[in-house]
Structure 1
């Protein structure tokens, strides 16, 4: 029997780019936070099978997409040259996918009918921007050869969703969220400025708006909160569209830091009431699982 809480209110944790920083304590922290669902935006590490193995064992409902680093030794010639394993005998990229199983939603989905919610994944291994890096791997593994086909692939997944409410989960965010370097997907390296979002994800979201589906949240990472060209400001983590969609960039990197000998872990938290995001924040949790810092990013 579904509880009244799960019908009306959902507590979602979004884990930004991991970059090798995931420990057993992170899973324990999520348990103490009492989250209902965990979303991983990818970049677990450079094809870091062992990191993904620990995350895959997390016994909380979860969904994940793959980032560019998750195909680091497979997708490019320079990566293959530096590959630490024999690619004729092993495939660490596939090992990650096998470990995640149904939780991996790049170009796929996961239905949560008890919450009337479907999580739809964007393009895997995205680097960001209108120039498609890592294109070969999407052609080889998914049969997608251009950004138009990618957008259509994501939209077809939306049309197959069993639930009314759609959360889009990407590694990089969509284009259209601004072209300043501190915008959620803005280019923050020289020459600074420009929209570095994914046009295919933006197109799929646009197509979804013309259906009966509702999109409360689009969440992603890749473009780090700390800007490369200046330390005076940080990247804006939240954008609210005219349609009421909340776009959340969760990439606080590094996501584990140490201050005065105390280790702190970063998570983004989203409160979902039915089909509406009512609150989004980024928190730092200490080793005794206390929330020692919370930055309110959005409050309806």
Structure 2
């Protein structure tokens, strides 16, 4: 845990500039969402909340609570959000009658327009559009959970998937595009500690989504501005070593900040006090000025770790 816990952060005061957009990114939830999380977001004064999926194993009630959050939000679905539907082994362990219920669809219905997987959400107040990557992504160059995308979206391969994501970009009302995916794009490195690096045996390899990478490339080629791409899935804690954390941020030569928000568990209990993790991104005029990982305590004190800061050219190193 960050040693700075207990020191008041100055982040809230930075929102006094009306031109600054304050975005909270919520990493893989895995059933860790409470009323206090919404209260913390309101206290932080965020303008927009992005959810990268894995709310739980088709956890309808968690999604219901998140859908009721009265802050502008966008979300994508992760592989766990179709846990009992997308694979044969999952269906064998399904706790409900799939002939009578569809918990995947219930989640999508609850989120409504906030679900941006293969879609988009225009944010007029800040002249930007949030575009979602492939829903239910498992990650990697081989497409797992392909059947659910074929059945629900008519997408049959990664090329079609990239085209589907880019189609949402072409429908965007604004030139500034923020991408949110469950897994990040390929191209961010092949070391196990890289943002989407494979950290299980055999160790190493780029486990990013090639369709998301292609859609981002097409978007940049089309002349759009892409200040932020955020995602989760690849947890910060590495499986093969406890000596380092995963690299959580990468800035491309084009100026795009790629942010992995998957702090798991995102709620921890330290000496009887719960600490809640959020990633915070500050953005103005289509440029990310700062990206941080924060832990919020019961008293709303914030421990902040700055991962990227444009003014000081600070970028987290592995």
Partner of 1:143: 154
Is 1:40 the counterpart of 2:86 in the alignment? no
Aligned residue pair count: 296
Residue equivalent to 1:297: 307
Match of 1:67 in 2: 78
**C-alpha separation between the residues in 1 aligned to 2:69 and 2:285?**
25
Corresponding position of 1:156: 167
1:251 aligned residue (258, 262, 267): 262
Residue 82, structure 1, aligned to residue 93, structure 2? yes
Whole-angstrom distance in 1 between the partners of 2:304 and 2:171: 37
**What TM-score results when the alignment is normalised by the length of structure 2?**
0.92
Structure 1 portions without partners, runs of 5+: none
- Structure 1 residue 283 and structure 2 residue 283: aligned? no
In 2, Cα distance between the equivalents of 1:66 and 1:53?
14
Equivalents in 1 of 2:284, 2:63: separation in Å? 30
C-alpha distance in 2 between matches for 1:154 and 1:260: 44
Distance in 2 of aligned mates of 1:284 and 1:205: 30
Deviation (angstroms), 1:274: 1.3
Per-residue deviation, 1:287: 1.2
SS at match of 1:296: strand
Cα drift, residue 212 of structure 1: 2.7
Q: Distance in 2 between matches of 1:5 and 1:105?
A: 28
| Partner Cα distance (2:29, 2:137) in 1 | 16
Distance in 2, matches of 1:63 and 1:156, equals: 18
Are 1:125 and 2:125 matched, yes or no?
no
Deviation per residue, 1:182-236 (Å, 9 max, x gap): 0000000011100000000000000011113100000000000000000000000
Counterpart check, 1:193 vs 2:207:
no
TM-score under structure 1 length normalisation: 0.97
Cα distance in 2, alignment partners of residues 187 and 20 from structure 1: 24
Q: Which runs of 4+ in 1 moved over 4 A?
A: 3-6
List gaps (5 residues or longer) in structure 2: 1-14, 311-318
- Matched with 2:117 is 106
2:35 to 24, 48, 61: 24
Report deviation, 1:4: 9.3
Residue aligned with 1:264, SS: strand
CA distance in 1, matches of 2:17, 2:92: 51
